[in-house]
Amino acid sequence: MKPVKILFFLLLTGLILAPLTFLIPKQGIEIAGMNIKMLRWEKILGQDSIHHADISGILEAANQLDSLPDILDANQNTKNNASDADSTAKPVKFPTVEELGKNVYRLNYNELGKMNLMSFFNLLQSNTQQKRIVRVLHYGDSQIEGDRITSFLREKLQSRFGGFGPGLLPAIQPYESYFSISQTNTGNWLRFTTFGKKDARVPHNRYGVLAAFSRFAPLWPDSIPFKDSILHTASISFKESKPAYSTVRSFNQIAIYYGYAHRKTSIKIYNQNDELIQSDSLNAGMETYVYRYKLPELSKNLRIEFEGYDSPDIYAVDLTAGSGISFDNIGMRGSSGTFFTTMNASQMKFMYEKLNVDMFILQFGGNVMPYIKDSAAVESYGRWMASQLYLLKKLMPQATIVVIGPSDMSYKEGENFVTYPFLPYVREKLKDATVKAGYSYWDMFEAMGGLNSMPEWVKADPPLAGIDHTHFTPKGARLIANMIYNAIMIELAENQNQTKKDGK
């Protein structure tokens, strides 16, 4: 074919296809089961209309504030010791709370939310005299699984206010963790959850505060008389994770939350030297029970052996000590956070009261993004989350709640990764529901840079988020956790200042 004919063919093809770049929407059209997309003119002309957020200032401020509480303490100590200092010495100038607060993305709340938050801080500060456990339950989706984010918050808060151990743990740990404590099991364990697809074999809705329970013997139908047929044995071993990652402080108290067993279960507890230190049994019955045992000494390792003709539903194993903060990680891959109203409220109230929960942190929203197609779905989700908050308020009225909204999340549109269209509206409805209920909201989406910020977290060196443009890397998770921690500490510092003013 002659060059002139080739040129003519290309020009004719371009003229035919050019209008389609305007007529076919960016998301493409469905034809015979296929999604047809066209290259956009802005791409052809090199004029990409997608603008990514500039996160350089956010990352710099977050990293600089890693030692924010130490700066606050140093500032206060300098003032306290001013009278003892040499009057000729140049005073050390530390940033004020107000100055530091400018670089921290703050919590959102109304007056009732502030009162609830301040009540928690007052408890936290007075606990040195009360000597009890201040309990924080951190519920979340896959962003916190494996103790990501939670482990950093636990480490910092326990170092500052005291506290021991990893807190509540499931009998079967579904997510590998290098951040706190590792678990291994022997026996034929089964795990059942109320989030995700419900298992039709579970004849009740008593899943416990982890929204999941485990058994080492099969479920037995209530309609069939129980028979002592097979003696089942199983064990759970808790060991300190790799030293390079571990943040777990030693514990000396164990509590097992269990129930719904047809027969008693014998248990043996072994210490970190694999020595038998306790032999006892768990109750039979359809109620929820708590078995407690205090270890003779502080430990980072523990093994529990079970034996019985039936297994109780084991809701959680709690590893703590007698005072300080217990900061519990409850990761729920795939959950939207709307599971509380699906569980047995009486059992939840019993367990929450036994745990004496002082704060709930709910970190959800990301898992609904791929499925939300219109604003009506967003508003429905907002109402569902509001119902969860009001249920928790009814169950534990003295506890406060902090809701952490979803991060920025991206999907691929052509050659670009862009924010899900309804994500800003989701975080808006979550904030509205939280503040209206009288609690505090932390906007992770805005804190990390807002619209189209996730690609910049992925491109950071080293990367702060994975190539799925959804989940943080360990470094990114630690950075987000540090931002959450700073937001809490600024509120605490302001509460301290207000308390001193009121006392004058």
Average pLDDT over residues 86-99: 53
Closest CA to 48 of 439, 443, 455, 441: 455
pLDDT at 172: 95
Average pLDDT over residues 492-497: 84
Determine the Cα–Cα distance for residues 504 and 501; give it in Å rounded to an integer. 5
Determine the Cα–Cα distance for residues 295 and 384; give it in Å rounded to an integer. 42
CB 113 within 8 A of CB 438: yes
Query: What pTM was computed for the model?
Result: 0.86
Average pLDDT over residues 353-381: 96
Query: Quick one: angle between helices 375-395 and 345-355, nearest 10?
Result: 60
Q: Mean pLDDT across the chain, nearest whole number?
A: 85
Average pLDDT over residues 220-232: 91
How does residue 150 score in pLDDT terms, banded at 50, 70 and 90? very high
pLDDT at 85: 42
Average pLDDT over residues 330-340: 95
- CA 309, 201, 328, 497 dihedral sign is negative
Residues 6 or more apart whose Cβ sits within 8 Å of residue 282: 256, 258, 261, 264, 265, 266, 267, 289, 291, 308, 312
pLDDT at 217: 97
Q: Is 164 left (phi over 0), alpha (psi -120 to 50) or beta?
A: beta
Report the first-to-last Cα separation within the chain, whole angstroms.
Answer: 95
pLDDT at 456: 94
Determine the Cα–Cα distance for residues 425 and 411; give it in Å rounded to an integer. 16
Closest CA to 10 of 41, 45, 18, 22: 18
CB 190 within 8 A of CB 215: yes
pLDDT at 46: 47
C-alpha atoms less than 13 angstroms from C-alpha of 105 in its C-beta half-sphere: 23
Closest CA to 429 of 476, 481, 365: 365
Q: Which two tokens stand for residue 51?
A: 């603008």
Residues 6 or more apart whose Cβ sits within 8 Å of residue 286: 259, 260
Average pLDDT over residues 367-382: 95
Sole residue written with tokens 């047929």:
229
Mode of pairing for the β-strands spanning 232-240 and 276-282 = unpaired
pLDDT at 317: 98
